[in-house]
């Protein structure tokens, strides 16, 4: 059967622009779907750079103004891969133009912006999704299946960390490509919105909603040169954040993130302890899921390391043969596949903008708690 084209307009050609383009190019070869992404146009402000990006990835055309891209009749879906401070404006305009929207995380700069974006896509009735891609690491999806099957029993504890070490040097500037993450005006927050948002999205997906939090944050380097202004300016982001949380299901959690954990590059880990069993996962070894089951026979009881590469494991029968692992980039391909499947069936893949708003609200509560030094309920 001929596939239906889904014409993509990509905004931003940085880290995520590349990761998503790779996913659009791969998905139709590995997943049998009704829709086929077509790389119709790439958009960014620098004409030469966006042309080079378009040539590398096979986009048919370029734009330097995202408003022009959104106005184009030959574009069905807008993919937002820009820094966080422009997500809202682009998404609201895209929704008003009736475009499908795939937006990078965090959804917005804060909950207030996020709520406006949810209202915009829901009023326009446009399909939408946010790129919390770690849900689609096969081992993480497998963890979700194990939890949903009830094998853990009552959950007592959730523990997550996301550790990096790339901003320790005080000479590192803030602002501009990649480094916009250190500029609160572009990022909204530091590790909370950038890294903990991933941990929170996974946690809510696996263990349900978070009720309240108690947080602390620190900015270790208080001022940095700004790439765009050339001046030394105060740093407004949180360099590190740790918080305690209570879930609706009664379980207790700890979350920690920093860019000052010397030796760690992208160490995202989580562990869940239930009445009967525990699960642990580590991004540096992403195809493995650690599993402990107290119901195993006494002397043989212990932690198993499951190589999540079997045809029965989530997504794996689409790739190679059992035992051969896949990697980081495939999580984006899985997200595109699920999104296209959702378009075809009318059962939307998550996280939608509305789902991602829950994470935004937890981030807001975390930052508010760090400021007030009080336990803080999460807005509903």
Kindly list the residues in this chain that would bind ligand NAD in the complex (CB under 6 A): 11-17, 43-45, 66, 81-84, 86, 104-105, 131, 133, 177-178, 180, 194
Strand order in the sheet with 210-218: 304-307, 288-293, 277-282, 267-274, 155-163, 252-258, 240-247, 210-218, 376-377
In the bound complex, what is the minimum distance in angstroms from residue 74's beta carbon to ligand NAD? 19
Nearer to ligand NAD, 84 or 257 (CB): 84
* Alpha helix ranges (H) inside 31-149: 47-57, 66-71, 87-96, 111-124, 138-148
Strand order in the sheet with 77-80: 61-63, 35-43, 4-11, 77-80, 100-103, 128-130
Nearer to ligand NAD, 255 or 291 (CB): 255
In the bound complex, what is the minimum distance in angstroms from residue 141's beta carbon to ligand NAD? 16
In the bound complex, what is the minimum distance in angstroms from residue 4's beta carbon to ligand NAD? 26
Return d(Cα 50, Cα 64) in angstroms, integer.
8
Return d(Cα 293, Cα 175) in angstroms, integer.
47
Contacts of 86 (CB under 8 A, 6+ apart): 80
Nearer to ligand NAD, 16 or 191 (CB): 16
Name residue 210's beta-bridge partners: 247
Nearer to ligand NAD, 136 or 287 (CB): 136
In the bound complex, what is the minimum distance in angstroms from residue 333's beta carbon to ligand NAD? 13
Nearer to ligand NAD, 16 or 366 (CB): 16
Nearer to ligand NAD, 86 or 97 (CB): 86
In the bound complex, what is the minimum distance in angstroms from residue 197's beta carbon to ligand NAD? 8
Contact 291, 303 (CB under 8 A): yes
Query: Omega before 351 cis (within 30°)?
Result: yes
Nearer to ligand NAD, 109 or 277 (CB): 109
Contacts of 237 (CB under 8 A, 6+ apart): 181, 182, 183, 184, 187, 189, 190, 191, 219
In the bound complex, what is the minimum distance in angstroms from residue 49's beta carbon to ligand NAD? 7
CA-to-CA separations, 53 to 14, 181, 328, in angstroms, rounded? 9, 22, 21
Nearer to ligand NAD, 194 or 361 (CB): 194
Contacts of 164 (CB under 8 A, 6+ apart): 191, 195, 258, 259, 261, 264, 265, 266, 267
Distance of CA 75 to the CA centre of its chain: 24
In the bound complex, what is the minimum distance in angstroms from residue 12's beta carbon to ligand NAD? 3
In the bound complex, what is the minimum distance in angstroms from residue 19's beta carbon to ligand NAD? 7
- The residue nearest ligand NAD at its CB is 14
Nearer to ligand NAD, 207 or 335 (CB): 335
In the bound complex, what is the minimum distance in angstroms from residue 295's beta carbon to ligand NAD? 35
């Amino acid at each position: 059967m001929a596939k239906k084209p889904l014409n993509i307009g990509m905004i931003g050609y940085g880290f995520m622009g590349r990761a998503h383009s790779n996913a659009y190019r791969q998905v139709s070869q590995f997943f049998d779907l009704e829709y086929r992404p077509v790389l119709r146009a790439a958009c960014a402000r620098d004409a030469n750079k966006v042309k080079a990006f378009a040539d590398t990835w096979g986009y048919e055309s370029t734009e330097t103004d995202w408003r022009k891209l959104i106005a184009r009749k030959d574009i069905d879906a807008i993919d937002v891969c820009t820094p966080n401070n422009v997500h809202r404006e682009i998404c609201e305009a895209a929704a008003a133009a009736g475009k499908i929207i795939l937006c990078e995380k965090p959804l917005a700069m804060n909950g207030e912006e996020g709520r406006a974006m949810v209202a915009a896509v829901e009023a326009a009735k446009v399909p939408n999704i946010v790129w919390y891609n770690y849900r689609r690491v096969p081992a993480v999806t497998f963890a979700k299946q194990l939890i949903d099957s009830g094998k853990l029993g009552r959950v007592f504890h959730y523990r997550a960390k996301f550790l990096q070490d790339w901003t320790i040097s005080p000479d590192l500037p803030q602002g501009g490509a990649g480094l916009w993450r250190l500029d609160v005006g572009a990022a909204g927050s530091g590790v909370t919105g950038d890294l903990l948002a991933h941990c929170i999205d996974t946690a809510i997906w696996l263990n349900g909603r978070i009720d309240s939090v108690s947080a602390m944050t620190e900015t270790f380097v208080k001022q940095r040169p700004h790439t765009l202004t050339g001046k030394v300016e105060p740093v407004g982001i949180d360099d590190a954040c740790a918080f305690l949380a209570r879930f609706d299901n009664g379980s207790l959690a700890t979350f920690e993130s920093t860019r000052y954990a010397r030796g760690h590059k992208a160490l995202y880990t989580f562990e869940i302890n239930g009445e009967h069993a525990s699960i642990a996962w580590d991004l540096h070894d992403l195809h493995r899921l650690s599993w402990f089951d107290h119901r195993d026979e006494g002397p043989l009881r212990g932690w198993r390391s499951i190589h999540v590469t079997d045809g029965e494991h989530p997504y794996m029968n689409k790739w190679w043969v059992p035992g051969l692992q896949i990697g980081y980039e495939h999580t984006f391909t899985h997200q595109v596949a699920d999104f296209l499947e959702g378009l075809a069936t009318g059962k939307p893949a998550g996280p939608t903008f509305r789902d991602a708003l829950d994470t935004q609200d937890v981030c807001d509560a975390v930052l508010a708690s760090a400021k007030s030094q009080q336990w803080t309920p999460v807005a509903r």
